[in-house]
């Protein structure tokens, strides 16, 4: 049974060293609680509003901060998923890095649905990878991705049993975050968990309320608006159990989910 620790915290903007120290505190705590994986918020390595410093703060997978986190994962024998600005082939992405308990990088996910001003600083990703690990098949979506049913559905169709969502979600969207997590879990009959940032950056309030839901859409845990860690047990047999009846993925009829040529040319305002 996978045990995942949701590490809800406030990063210091543009202060990687401080954020790495915070990450190690949570990773050490997760190790003591015998967790299998720690999930940090979106862009936690740098803070969210990197703006004109984004390129300067970005790292590729050989970057010094990434190496430090790899060392932490190996030292404490725990998987880590965290958000960071990724430099890849001279392009910048709002990414999540997935490191295993041996300190090996399993891969990165580049955010597909960019929010508000993010396209000024990042390019959009183009795929939803699923990693087959020793604690289950895991996919990642980042924050705004959660609000698009296609994100989670793509991961589920590709075999994901668990979706992890690093998030930097701000007021006044408290009322929909929990709704989306439970809905994405129920409609795909998988586990979904999000870790959200807290605190104020610039004038924006990040409200926390990190949460996880099971394959029936039942809420498993929910945080408040302060620094907090939540340990979530995920019984993967529930994925198969929930799909005995109904089985939404099997009953899909994708051949009928098409957009007419007339609608393709219409701009949606």
Closest CA relative to residue 98, chosen from 133, 126, 127: 133
Contact between residue 19 and residue 7 where contact means Cβ atoms under 8 Å apart: no
Q: Token digits for 174? A: 């408290």
- Numbers of helices and strands, H then E, in the chain: 8, 14
Q: How far apart are CA 62 and CA 8, in angstroms?
A: 26
- 143 belongs to the catalytic site: yes
In the residue annotation, 3 being an active-site residue is answered as no
Q: What are phi and psi of 230, to 5 degrees?
A: -125, 130
**Pair of tokens at residue 222:** 């929910």
Is 97 catalytic? The answer is no
Among residues 16, 87, 111, 137, the one annotated as catalytic is 111
Distance between CA atoms of residues 246 and 66, nearest Å: 42
- Token pair, residue 61, equals 């997978």
Tokens 């340990």 appear where?
231
From 143, 161, 209, 229, active-site residue? 143
Catalytic residue selected from 42, 59, 86, 209 = 42
Nearest to 35 by CA among 193, 226, 208: 193
- 10 Å Cβ neighbour count for 175? 7
What amino acid positions are annotated as catalytic residues? 42, 111, 143
């Amino acid at each position: 049974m996978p045990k995942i620790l949701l590490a809800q915290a406030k990063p210091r903007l543009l202060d990687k060293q401080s954020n790495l120290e915070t990450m190690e505190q949570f990773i050490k705590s997760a190790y003591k609680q015998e967790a299998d994986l720690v999930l940090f918020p979106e862009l936690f390595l740098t803070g969210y509003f990197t703006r004109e410093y984004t390129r300067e703060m970005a790292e590729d997978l050989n970057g010094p901060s990434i190496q430090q986190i790899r060392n932490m994962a190996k030292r404490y024998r725990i998987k880590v998923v965290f958000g960071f600005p990724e430099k890849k082939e001279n392009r910048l992405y709002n990414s999540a890095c997935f490191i295993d308990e041996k300190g090996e990088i399993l891969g990165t996910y580049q955010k597909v649905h960019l929010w508000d001003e993010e396209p000024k600083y990042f390019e959009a990703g183009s795929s939803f990878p699923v990693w087959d690990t020793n604690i289950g098949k895991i996919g990642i979506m980042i924050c705004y991705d959660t609000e698009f049913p296609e994100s989670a559905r793509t991961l589920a169709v590709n075999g994901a049993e668990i979706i992890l969502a690093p998030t930097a979600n701000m007021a006044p969207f408290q009322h929909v975050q929990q709704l989306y997590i439970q809905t994405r879990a129920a409609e795909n009959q998988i586990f979904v968990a999000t870790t959200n940032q807290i605190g104020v950056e610039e004038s924006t309030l990040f409200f926390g309320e990190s949460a996880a839901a099971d394959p029936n859409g039942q809420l498993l845990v929910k945080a408040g608006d302060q620094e907090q860690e939540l340990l979530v047990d995920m019984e993967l047999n529930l994925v198969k159990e929930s799909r005995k009846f109904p089985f939404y993925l099997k009953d899909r009829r994708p051949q009928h989910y098409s957009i007419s040529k007339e609608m393709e040319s219409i701009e949606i305002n």
